[in-house]
Amino acid sequence: MKEKTLIQKFLGTWNTKTIVGVAIGAALFGVLMNYGSIRVFTNTSLTTAMIVPVIVGALFGPLPAAAAAGIGNVIADLIGGWGFWFDWSIGNAVLGLFVGALPLYGAYIEDGIFELKHMIIYAVVVIVGTALAFGLVTPFFTYLWYGGELTITLYQGVVGSVSNIIVLLVAGIPVLKVLAARNAKASNLRRE
Amino acid sequence: MNNGFIINLIPGETFLHKLSGTTKVRLFFVLIIYLIMSFDIRLILPVFVAGLLGLFSLKTDVAALRYIIVFVVAMNILNIVLYYLANPHLGELYFGQETLWFQFTDHYIVTYEEVWFLMSRLLKMLATFLVSLVFILSITPSEMAAGLYNCGIPYKICTVVELAFRYIPDIYRDYQNIKVSMQARGVELDSRKAGVIKRLKQTILILIPLIITSFDRVGDISNAMDLRGFGKGRKRSYYSEHEATADDQKVKIVYLLIAVFDVLYIAAKIIYKIPEVWYPW
């Protein structure tokens, strides 16, 4: 297979498989956001949903990951009943872009490639991405659309960032490792 | 909370059910913009009442919904309390004045302005919840995709939304099954018996099989769609979408009026700097 360029990896190929993958990712995101979370602070909880964009990103690329996170968050808001917070949806989509960037630095979960090097890059990307998404992007849109309330958004941003980083590292790395190990079994043939 | 009750796949028989997907989606959009743009209790209250009327007009099994309604109301009240604890001086921030009602400590005072703001906020949240609930109850995933498509959104994205809604009940059921079977094997998820980090680690044991089963579906679904020629054409039509009926035309006038009001209000808000929250005194 021809090696894809960086931009192609970033955009992902939008074929039927990717569309279905993004949809399933968004559904999973919605379900986990509503039912698989541990409440920490107002409108913010230790949700395991952020794992989903990581997986979507690993399988299909960063932009599909962002779409899954953004659409998933809107769906979660729709069935969750806490009102629509599109500032957070956009923040989550931006974060999805970062955490879903696994193929860009050579971690191919589908082929079972996820090594220590990738874990370290993943951890750094998670921390930088969260800080950017919740510290900069979300407050910006909050200010733009809802005005005022910045103190509370910043509180939520800090709590949300910390809990997201914990989830993405404590739960994300083991999940990725297991998935990589599972896929590696299918491809341990070596060329002689 | 059982999502099987919320997302329905079979169109119903009442007035709202029978509107076309386009009408429902557009009405929903203008109402959500309406609710986001204002904290004004005079504007929110009519939508809240309309939402209640809409909910009753759907003739759904209210007993099945009781759990989600209680849950959402309780959660919103909890949120309001947390909001108060985070900043008890919101009244000052929004209205520039504070009238003392009573006080707990020097910091935690209760002012009329604060109570008014939190009430407006609660009502706004509940109105948003009602509108979303009525929307979800009255629409099928297919109609939603058709509606979004007619709003000019590319059909591939509409398909993402449609499929996501279609599979939420399935994934939720898988999630429950995996959770119960893992608990039967001794995974502790009770907050009284395990700390946050411990529970998080236990959640991984549920997540891995859930992710694997969910994404294993992708191949089957995409093959089935490819075999039916999905994504070959530039346009797409929807079986569930019907011609606009007389009722659709009437509702169209309503949502067009609301849309015009939305635009005017937002413009007025930017130009004349209308205060965020209306406070009569």
Selected for mutation to probe chain B from A13, A14, A18, A20 (highest B CB count within 10 Å) is A20
Chain B residues touching A16 at Cβ < 8 A: 222, 225-226, 230-231
Domain shared by B210 and B273, yes or no: no
Q: Which residues of B touch A166 (CB under 8 A)?
A: 197, 200
- Residue A112: left if φ>0, alpha if ψ -120 to 50, beta else—which one? left
Residues of B in contact with A48 (CB under 8 A): 200, 203, 207
Position B241 scores a pLDDT of 83
Condensed to tens digits (0 to 9), the pLDDT of residues A57-103 reads 888 888 888 889 888 888 888 876 666 677 777 888 888 888 888 77
Query: Do B31 and B70 fall into the same domain?
Result: yes
Q: Which residue has the tokens 């209760």?
A: B110
- Cβ-defined contact of B206 to A15 (cutoff 8 Å): no
Residue in A76, A84, A88 with CA at minimum distance from that of residue B37: A84
Is B186 found in the same domain as B266?
no
CA distance A101 to A128: 13
Question: How close A132 comes to chain B (CA, Å)?
Answer: 23
Interface touch A31/B36, C-beta < 8 Å: no
Q: Do B49 and B187 lie in a common domain? A: no
The reply to whether A13 touches chain B by the CB within 8 Å rule is: no
| Residue B116: domain span | 1-140+243-281
Give the best residue of A14, A17, A31, A173 to mutate against chain B (max B CB count within 10 A): A31
| A46 neighbors A38 (Cβ within 8 angstroms) | yes
Asked if A27 and B167 count as a contact pair (C-beta separation under 8 A), the reply is: yes
Q: What is the pLDDT of residue A182?
A: 79
**pLDDT at residue A3 is higher than 80:** no
Interface probe, candidates B187, B215, B232, chain A, greatest A C-beta count within 10 A: B215
Give the chain A residue whose CA is nearest to the CA of B94: A148
- For residue B168, the distance in angstroms to the closest alpha carbon of chain A comes to 5
Tell me the DSSP string of A100-166: T-GGGGT--GGGT---HHHHHHHHHHHHHHHHHIIIIIHHHHHHHHT-S-HHHHHHHHHHHHHHHHH
- Contact across the interface for A16 and B231, Cβ inside 8 Å: yes
User: In residues, how long is chain B?
Assistant: 281
**Lowest-pLDDT range of A102-106, A115-119, A167-171, B191-195:** B191-195
From CA A24, how far away is CA A22, in angstroms rounded?
A: 6
Residues in chain A with CB shorter than 8 Å from the CB of B196 are 38, 46
B51: Cα within 13 Å, side-chain hemisphere: 23
Task: Using the predicted structure, report yes or no on whether residue A2 has a pLDDT greater than 60.
Answer: no
Q: Are B116 and B177 found together in one domain?
A: no
A16: containing domain:
6-186
What total number of domains does chain A contain?
1
What's the domain count of chain B?
A: 2
The answer to whether A136 contacts chain B (CB < 8 Å) is: no
Quote the crossing angle between the two packed helices B21-37 and B112-138, to the nearest 10°.
170
**Which residues contact residue B158 at a Cβ distance below 8 angstroms, ignoring those fewer than 6 apart?**
B144, B145, B146, B148, B149
Among chain B residues, CA nearest to A70: B161
Q: Count H helices, E strands: chain A? A: 9, 2
What CATH code is carried by the domain that includes residue A39?
1.10.1760.20
DSSP letters along A76-103, please? Answer: HHHHH-S---HHHHHHHHHHHHHHT-GG
For residues B142 and B240, the answer to whether their CB atoms sit within 8 Å is yes
Give the list of residues 6+ apart from residue A124 with CB closer than 8 angstroms, or none: none
Find which of B222, B223, B228, B262 to mutate to test the A interface (most A CBs within 10 Å of its CB): B222
- B200 and A179 within 8 Å at the Cβ level: the answer is no
B110 has which bridge partners? B102
Helix (H, G, I), strand (E, B) or coil at A44: strand
DSSP 8-state class, residue A14: -
Whether the Cβ atoms of residue B16 and residue B24 lie closer than 8 Å to each other: yes
Q: Does A41 touch chain B (CB under 8 A)?
A: yes
Query: Are B4 and B131 in a shared domain?
Result: yes
Do both B131 and B186 map to the same domain?
Answer: no
B21 with B151, same domain: the answer is no
3-state secondary structure chain B: CCHHHCCCCCCCCCHHHHCCHHHHHHHHHHHHHHHHHCCCHHHHHHHHHHHHHHHHHCCCCHHHHHHHHHHHHHHHHHHHHHHHHHCCCHHHHHHCCCCEEEECCCCCEEEHHHHHHHHHHHHHHHHHHHHHHHHHHHCCHHHHHHHHHHCCCCHHHHHHHHHHHHHHHHHHHHHHHHHHHHHHCCCCCCCCCCCHHHHHHHHHHHHHHHHHHHHHHHHHHHHHHHHCCCCCCCCCCCCCCCCCCHHHHHHHHHHHHHHHHHHHHHHHHHHHCCCCCCCCC
B132/A77 touch (CB, cutoff 8 Å), yes or no? yes
HSE-up of A23 (CA within 13 Å, CB side)? Answer: 28
Same-domain status, B164 and B43: no
A67/B218 Cβ within 8 A: no
Quick one: B135 and B148 in the same domain? no
Cβ-count burial B183-219 (b if 16+ within 10 Å, e if not): eeeebebeeeeeeeeebbebbbbbbbbbbeebbebbe
- pLDDT tens by residue, chain B, 281 residues: 444 457 777 777 888 888 888 899 999 999 988 888 877 888 889 999 999 898 888 887 777 778 778 877 887 888 788 777 777 777 676 676 777 777 777 777 777 878 888 888 888 888 888 888 888 888 888 888 999 998 888 888 899 988 998 888 888 889 889 988 988 988 777 666 666 677 777 778 888 889 888 888 888 999 999 898 887 888 888 888 888 888 889 999 999 999 999 899 888 888 877 666 677 66
Same domain, B85 and B178: no
Shared-domain flag, residues B248 and B262: yes
CA–centroid distance for B141 within its chain: 15
Please tell me if residue B197 touches chain A, with a CB cutoff of 8 Å: yes
